[in-house]
Amino acid sequence: MTNEIPDNDLADMEKKLKFYAQNGISLDANNFLEEHVISMKPEASLIKPLKRVGNFCGTFVAVDCSTRTLKRANNWGIYLMRTAHVFVKEREVEWNYEERLFTTVGDTKTRSNSLKDYRIELESELALKLLKSETLECDSKENAVSYLLLDGGGYFGGRRKFRLSLYEKCEKLGIVLLAISKNSPLLHDEKGRDLIASISVLSPYALWSYHPVRVADRGKNLFGDISLVKLCEGSPRVFRCDIMEYLKDRKVEEILSPLTAVAEDARCLGYPVPLYLAHRFSGPSDTALLHYYDTVEDKLSQAGLSKMLRLEEQSCSFADELHGVQYAFRREVIGDYV
């Protein structure tokens, strides 16, 4: 852990904003393609019960990255990215984080896509480092299964997708790699309704899985079968869970049932607590954000960019002022960080 922004990140910020100040931006910048909507008719026969697991001797590893805005205008933004990881083994929890500064120039959609791309890249990079940990090596020696949980869909290779090398490393080491999404707005039933809700109505079980919603398709960078999973009887929550293709020789119930051992925490009932903790630990405090804000302000002042960039900030911040928002990172409270 460190509270200092890497010098190369500050240099990158200065370089990008100097170029912007001199040249502006391209008005026809390319945007990344969005994931396509998935629509299907639910089949009750694909719903299978899961076994509740009280104790699991293996290790769950989770990775998540948060984005907090330090400064923003209509055509650029400066963001703090904190990537956190968590090891959960029975009742023991270990965690840590890494921080980077990211500067991007472009309109709102361009910046949003760039942030998503960079966030996934940071998660992939950290996850690859964790695969070399002593904890996972110990599990391997004891023949205990290790799980790596990612936040999002099971897409690998290319922009806005996890590194293909991460998939290949997990396959080589025998790690159970699952990608679990907090929200799945692109899953619909045949009438365009929310697929998760439609399938939940059909399920006769307290704990269950639905597999597959869609099978892996490497041509579309989807390296895992899309499934749905309900992990806690006391919670109505159901999540998309992508099961990597190299696990296809194992039963889905065998793969997913151990998740029930970490889905009964009162803070996130029904959601795997390793992912919840990684999400929480990825959030920096306001004190830390103010420290980074001051660091950025000093760097921009030294580069002679403060006056112009501050005017651009003010030209897009009136709505923030109406909401009582003094700093850009406070804007996340009203749902906008780009």
Hey, what are 260's tokens?
A: 């029930």
Q: Which amino acid is at 147?
A: Y
**Rounded CA gap, 137 and 135, in Å?**
5
Q: Round to whole Å and give the CA distance between 261 and 52.
A: 7
> What three-state secondary structure class fits 210?
strand
Grouping H, G, I as helix, E, B as strand and the rest as coil, residue 61 is strand
Domain range annotation of the chain: 7-35+58-184+217-225+241-249+267-334
Query: Contact, 113 vs 134, CB < 8 A?
Result: no
Q: Give the separation between CA 208 and CA 237, rounded to whole angstroms.
A: 11
Residue-wise pLDDT tens for the chain (338 aa)?
667 788 899 999 999 888 887 876 665 544 444 567 888 999 999 999 999 998 898 999 999 999 999 999 999 999 999 999 999 998 899 999 999 999 999 998 999 999 999 999 999 999 999 998 766 766 666 666 799 999 999 999 988 899 999 999 999 999 999 999 999 999 999 888 999 999 999 999 999 999 999 999 999 999 999 999 999 999 999 999 999 999 999 999 999 999 999 999 999 999 999 999 999 999 999 999 999 999 999 999 999 999 999 999 988 877 777 777 777 777 654 445 56
- CA 287 to CA 291: how far, in whole Å? 6
Give 115-154 pLDDT, tens digit per residue.
999 999 999 999 999 998 766 766 666 666 799 999 999 9
Give the pLDDT confidence of 160-219 residue by residue, as tens digits.
Answer: 899 999 999 999 999 999 999 999 999 999 888 999 999 999 999 999 999 999 999 999
Cα separation, 162 vs 159, in Å, equals 8
**What is the pTM for the complete model shown?**
0.88
Q: Which tokens hold the place of 295?
A: 């660091």
Separation between Cα atoms, residue 156 and residue 167, nearest integer Å: 7
